[in-house]
Structure 1
């Protein structure tokens, strides 16, 4: 791999790792942060999407419905995850979020009866053992906040897997940017409706909060641009592997910027989860059946 590609991968991972920090720094509710994350990201994508505007007219009614439902699950994903970050540590929340490819495989097995190898089963067992260790470390009979945050992080994983399965399996031959723009917009609108129903404050936020909302949209969008640009010279498997660095980067940033620390069980569980996900991705890449 070229040094320039490695550098861009590192930049992308750092950009994504900052997302959790911005959520932690914000005093707004999780639903408000999620809403502006989606709506601002949609606005940022308009110049790119404009080039492919003809694709909107080629979508069937069924495809539009799939995109709307995908947007709903994306809204749930960010709502659950951002609320998780309000309750538990960055390390616990982002490590559990790394289970996404494994949960996607389990869903594919249950719904589409896709074949599962022994290596994959072992990696799943390893990863979920790590989650149990993290959750045990965060469990307390007197304060259930951190444990509840872990549950919400896992629910956010389930929601984002539903988002991918509904959207990407239903809508074919649609440019990635157009797909993202549509589902981001619908996700933002769903969150707007939720905030109106729950009577959340929509506009009266200080400049600091608006800056955080904007940064939360910009940094992950930069990462996605980099990942898409690198697909011509870096395999998708390599990009997937690099995503495992997100919990590491986010935890380090949380330590430096938020003074969050890791106890023994969190650290042990986190390492076990990442090892399990790494072996899972490696097994998927090799497509080896043991």
Structure 2
């Protein structure tokens, strides 16, 4: 996996791969009937199993990791685990479009946090582009928003998950300055998975009473949106600002909504498609203004 660091493939290719990969996450979760915490736990721990054969190659780096970085990595992992827990659970109560549209608030939280923690400033053009992209993303899910009952509960869970992943992204930017993507990702996934395991023990849910279909979904979640999605974004944190990586994640509402239309039979309107185009234009404008060539 460290070969990715030496690749000459343009950064936008990896951005596209990551966006498409995480767009499948909501689809796989909707297919599963297992508790959200179980889905998230096995998603992460199965990813660790897939990465384990390569871990020995990083033994020298692991031995040199400072305790402060271990602490940051643990907190980042806990935040990621809470993100998966809250967001996956939100899909039980609201639509894919609505839940993923709320995730579009992530860049705002990341941008604000990056200013407070690292003193990073953003140009006026980038801020305007962010507003354009977020407006497009919100419009994708606006028709599905409901401000009462079960749907509201789902939207609030998605918001909590967004706050958690913003913290994870900010910590990741700091750690990735001097830690490889592989080591950071492996232990972040491990800490997140262990937190979810403790949650499942406390809740008293079964760890094994699932049909083969569920185990297949867990594995798909580990391979597609985690390895090809979150791992790729962790790698990009060294080469891009955290706010830029967060902005690219805004492609998920559009990707997830399109996939939900073809796979789950959820509706998608002309307005949502036009909003998706606005979203993509906004993201492109933001990356052009916020990142150096």
TM bracket (short chain): 0.7 to 0.9
State which of 98, 116, 121 in structure 2 corresponds to 1:92.
Answer: 98
Q: CA deviation at 1:193?
A: 0.5
In structure 2, the gaps of 5 or more residues are 1-7
Q: How does 1:26-105 map to 2 (within 5 A)?
A: 26-105=32-111
1:165 correspondence with 2:140: no
Q: TM-score, normalised by structure 2?
A: 0.79
Partner of 1:18: 24
Any residues of structure 2 matched to 1:119-130 within 5 Å, and which? 119-130=125-136
Change (3 A) 1:67 1:251: same
Instruction: Summarize deviations over 1:59-103 as a string: whole Å, max 9, x none.
Output: 222221111111110101111221122222222333433443343
Residue 197 of structure 2 corresponds to residue 196 of structure 1: no
Asked if 2 retains the 8 angstrom alpha-carbon contact of 1:255 and 1:261, the reply is: yes
Residue number in structure 2 paired with 1:279: 285
Q: Is the CA contact 1:78–1:156 (under 8 Å) kept in the aligned structure 2?
A: yes
- Residue 194 of structure 1 and its aligned partner are, at CA, apart by 0.8
Q: For residue 121 of structure 2, give the secondary structure of its aligned residue in structure 1.
A: coil
Please name the residue that 1:258 is paired with.
264
TM-score between both structures, scaled by the size of structure 1: 0.80
> 1:41-73: CA deviations, max 9, x gaps?
111111222211222211222221111111110
Tell me if 1:246 matches 2:252: yes
Distance in 1 between residues matched to 2:258 and 2:141, nearest whole Å: 20
| Pair 1:278–1:94, CA change in 2 (3 A) | farther
Say which SS state the counterpart of residue 252 (structure 2) adopts. helix
Question: How many residue pairs are counted as aligned between the two chains?
Answer: 281
Aligned to 1:153: 158
State the distance in 1 between where 2:69 and 2:232 align: 25
Distance in 2, matches of 1:140 and 1:95, equals 13
Q: Which moves more between the two structures, 169-178 or 37-46?
A: 169-178
Relative distance call for 1:274 and 1:86 in structure 2 (3 A) is: farther
Q: Which of structures 1 and 2 has the larger relative contact order (alpha carbons within 8 angstroms, sep 6+)?
A: 1
CA-based RMSD:
3.5
In structure 2, how many angstroms separate the alpha carbons of the residues matched to 1:75 and 1:283? 32
Deviation, structure 1 residue 267: 5.6
